[in-house]
Structure 1
Amino acid sequence: MGGDASCSMVFCGKSSVETEIATRLKKEKVLKLQDDTKVSVFLESEAEAMLVKDDNSFDSSLFMDSISTDRFGRFLIWSPRLSSTHDVVSPNFCELPVGTVCVTETQFKGRGRSKNVWESPKGCLMFSFTLEMEVATLIPVIQYVVSIAVTEAVKSVCDKKGLPYIDVRIKWPNDIYLNGLKIGGILCTSTYRSKKFYVSIGIGLNVDNDQPTTCLNAVLKDLSPTSDLFKREEILGAFFHKFETFFDLLMKRGFKSLEELYYRTWLHSDQKVVVEDRVGDKFVQNVVTIKGMTSSGYLKAIGDDNQIYELHPDGNSFDFLKGLVRRKL
């Protein structure tokens, strides 16, 4: 984006506390974006008169009505178009209350793991939010907690609205799958300052757009053509309810308290995958069976020799279950 680029944002709070924060942030003009993008900020009370929103735009009031969290999602930043929601929360982490969520309709520089591009058309739930952590060993598993919260949020909305069961699954390390197709992805980044990790989490979930793969509503229509469709606001509200519960468990009891739920939801129990082992100056492919995850968050597998291995992506493959390398445990 060039120096004359501009971006509109709407601030919205769950209570008077967050509304006061919104008013202060607007007045002080502290939010900055990269590439000299000019930011125009509106409070929710001003947005209707100042911004044109179509019927399918994210409904901040519906979202706020759907959440009952103590920390996460209570301060919302909405924008019709952004380079990336991550580009809002990450550089402004210290200015925003912890748990702030940024939502956009479309983003033109969405990204995934290892600089992969995430397609971000309208109808996709695209958001980033912030949290703080102090325990370094829990940083690698936070993406798994987010994954569980996404899948459980979809199930929760199904239960609440009486919809057919939608079998949303987790593909290690950070993808969401439905009927064998990717419908979502998760990106976690962190910085360390003042003895704390500042973590920014970005999520894209195909709710109402069936490109480039499929989406929740396309599958729901096939299962039950007359059912109410998924709304992004409801899924996001359910997500924060689940995530706050799981995050508290993680902080108190570690990831062991969530492992069973994670393994019930992921795609990989007893899955056989190919790994590459270096033998001299050559790579030899071998098949191992996935048995879970190690304490560091990598895959744990057993070989034909009954040896337990830890599997690491080689960093070069788009599919992280291909081109795995292993080391003995």
Structure 2
Amino acid sequence: MDRDASCSLVLCGKSSAETDTAKRLKNNGVLKLADNTQIVLFLDSEMENLIRDDASFNISLFMNSISTDRFGRFLIWSPRLSSTHDVVSHNFSELPIGSVCVTDIQFKGRGRTKNVWESPKGCLMYSFTVEMEDGRIVPLIQYVVSLAVTEAVKDVCDKKGLPYIDVKIKWPNDLYLNGLKVGGILCTSTYRSKKFHVSVGVGLNVDNEQPTTCLNTVLKDISPASTLLKREEILGAFFHKFEKFFDLFIDQGFKSLEELYYRTWLHSEQRVITEEKMEDRVVQNVVTIQGLTSSGYLLAIGDDKQMYELQPDGNR
């Protein structure tokens, strides 16, 4: 049989209500993948039927680390999966809002502009579901997610008494550490029943120093005797931060998070060269980034004091 022809999914809930949801989903067999890959479902109480090792995601550790009201309380875990994003996006209506899918190895993930997003063990790869009503602010959700990731890493370091790991945001959706990419965000949405169904995918290299670097490599360089960061702890801290930030975002807009966001990103007062087509020629302008526009693009000012709105070029 082709190794990609089937996959195993473990369903787990934080409370009895979510555990009942897991049992219902298993019994009904409604979860599907777009490529018709066969899915074998397990409850967390049946995990002895799966081959696991010390590097496998520790469901109990994660569940014990979260205290959220909505996000992260229903978990789908797989030892090896084509794409966590496909699991949540193709089964959005069947899953509780805030459900998360995590895998140890992902081999057909997606990045921006159809880039392949593969990840071996050591990467924290997860996707989760969000529901929104105002389509005007849906594009900004990736910034809330990015901020929650960086703040989650800081939170775990603080709680464990570890040196400060300064993960930064590279607009619009990349995560950098010491000038090297360690993660990224992918958000997709569909509109159904007057609501936007947003599937959020996150990749963060926690413990695999290829192809660039990872959080624990930097941590060991700073303090060789430090205990290492764990994916489960970071994910639990992420949902705690995200739920708080998301509520602020919905109630007060992104303005309520801008100050913290600007302290975390790489672009304050950054000077960049823009290109603008003018009839039969291309005009270059040097501009200085000021922040974000209301639509989520970069706001910049030129040396001529003219304001510019910069959009992603697809290669960032």
Structure 2 gaps of 5+ residues are: none
Q: CA deviation at 1:3?
A: 11
TM-superposed CA distance for 1:284, in Å, is: 2.2
Partner SS for 1:225: coil
The equivalences for 1:1-329 within 5 A come to 5-48=5-48, 50-315=49-314, 318-319=315-316
1:25 to partner: Cα distance: 0.3
* Residue identity opposite 1:163 in structure 2: L
Return the alpha-carbon distance in structure 2 between the equivalents of residues 199 and 192 of structure 1. Answer: 9
Deviation at 1:2, TM superposition (A): 6.6
Q: Write the distance in 2 (CA, Å) between the matches of 1:294 and 1:33.
A: 37
Match of 1:322 in 2: none
What amino acid does structure 2 have at the position aligned with 1:303?
Answer: G
**Aligned residue pair count:** 316
Q: Distance in 2 between matches of 1:221 and 1:314?
A: 35
Q: Distance in 1 between matches of 2:165 and 2:124?
A: 17
Structure 1 residue identity aligned to 2:52: K
Distance 1:13 1:149 in 2: 22
Q: For the Cα contact (< 8 Å) 1:181–1:214, is it kept in 2?
A: yes
Q: Could you state the TM-score of these two structures normalised by the residue count of structure 1?
A: 0.94
Q: Distance in 1 between matches of 2:266 and 2:86?
A: 31
TM-score of the two chains, using structure 2 as the length reference: 0.98
Please tell me the residue identity of whatever aligns with 2:28: E
Structure 1 gap ranges (5+):
320-329
- 2:230 partner letter: K
The answer on whether the counterparts of 1:77 and 1:102 sit within 8 Å (CA) in structure 2 is yes
Deviation at 1:7, TM superposition (A): 0.6
- Asked whether the 8 Å contact 1:11–1:44 carries over to 2, the reply is yes
- List per-residue Cα deviations over 1:25-74 (Å, max 9, x = no partner): 000000001222110000000112x1010011000000000000000000
Residues 201 and 162 of structure 1, relative CA distance in 2, 3 Å threshold:
same
Q: How high is the sequence identity, in percent, across the aligned residues? A: 75
Structure-2 separation of matches of 1:195 and 1:3: 39
Q: What value does the CA root-mean-square deviation take over the aligned residues?
A: 1.2
2:290–2:299 contact (8 Å) kept in structure 1: yes
CA distance in 2, matches of 1:254, 1:191: 21
Check conservation: 1:89, 1:128, Cα contact below 8 A.
yes
Q: How far is 1:119 from its partner?
A: 3.1
Letter in 1 for 2:31: L
| Counterpart amino acid of residue 193 in structure 1 | R
Letter of the structure 1 residue corresponding to residue 249 of structure 2: L
Q: Which moved more, 1:249-258 or 1:306-315?
A: 306-315
